[in-house]
Amino acid sequence: MKRVFKLTSLLGLLCLLITGFPATSQAQAKAVNINTASVEQLSLLPRVGSVVAQRIADFRDKNGSFKSLEDLMFVQGVGEKTFELIRPHVTLSGETTVTEKIKPPKSSSGGDGS
């Protein structure tokens, strides 16, 4: 029984490591706590400007702390595409460590112009 639990825990941790963190180790240390970040800090997220950052803060003030990262999609201006871009950079707890604008990755639209 303990062996199954350890294996399950290890697999769960591996899944988190693979899907829940940014690709570079430098980016891994950078996060925005959506429950405590200022409007200025929220606007450092990719594709989030001052208007959407203010909406996130207003939503949080009106509804309380975010319970899940996916709750961000209830904020006008944060759809699925934007959420997928900011997901690796947001957290529900801990300190906000992002200090400059995070640029979205270059899109891989399948063409190199030739």
Is there a domain that residue 111 lies in? no
**Can you state the percent helix, strand and coil of the chain, rounding each to 5?**
50, 5, 45
The Cα–Cα gap between 28 and 81 comes to: 20
pLDDT in tens, 24-41: 444 445 899 999 999 999
Q: What is the pLDDT of residue 30?
A: 86
Q: What is the pLDDT of residue 24?
A: 41
71-84: average pLDDT: 97
CATH number of the structural domain spanning residue 70: 1.10.150.320
Is there a domain that residue 70 lies in? yes
Is there a domain that residue 22 lies in? no
Q: How many domains does the chain have?
A: 1
Is there a domain that residue 36 lies in? yes
Q: Residue 72 belongs to what domain range?
A: 30-103
pLDDT in tens, 78-109: 999 999 999 999 999 999 999 999 998 886 55
